[in-house]
Amino acid sequence: MAFGRLERPQGSQPMSDINMTPLIDVMLVLLVIFMLTAPLMTSRLKLDLPKADARANPPTPPAVLAIALTADGQTHLDEQLITPEALAKQVEAQSRAKPDTEVQLRVDRVVPYERVAQLIGLLQKSGLNRIAFVTEAALPGAAGDGGVGGDPDMTPSAKP
């Protein structure tokens, strides 16, 4: 009579080997960190500087002109309403006083580009070439932002 085998089936054997892959990965990361930080630590000079009573002079901030063109066609210089002739005189005077003056333009969306181009021409003719356009940060996914180069008035949902 055969009753089957007398051997018991062996279960899973305990693993007696160490998995080296995670250990090697950690060591390589530590090596890269050490290679990147070691040159930074040695390049700094440690000096014991003498003390002096002199005050450190803060750098003078650059001169800034803030010009705004509103939707109703008005021009503002530093938040004050100004005529185009007076603006031209102010820009000329500022250019002579400080030729490195930065002009910050804030222009309403509906102002025609021709008006902006005329203002830039006036600024450059007077000698002010540092011109910055001030904008607002667009919210990602905001309705009507038109995307890059898009016109929100030309979207199908905006048409009557």
Residue 16 within a domain: no
pLDDT for position 156: 44
Nearest to 98 by CA among 106, 88, 90, 108: 90
Does 6 have pLDDT greater than 90?
no
Residue 86 within a domain: yes
Task: Report pTM.
Answer: 0.52
Tens-digit pLDDT profile for residues 75-120: 999 888 999 899 999 999 999 999 889 999 999 989 999 999 999 9
How far apart are the C-alpha atoms of 1 and 87, rounded to whole Å?
117
Residue 65 within a domain: no
Q: What domain range includes position 129?
A: 78-111+118-136
pLDDT for position 73: 85
Domain count, the chain: 1
Residue 18 within a domain: no
Nearest to 67 by CA among 123, 105, 122, 119: 105
Tokens standing for residue 135? 């904008």
Residue 48 within a domain: no
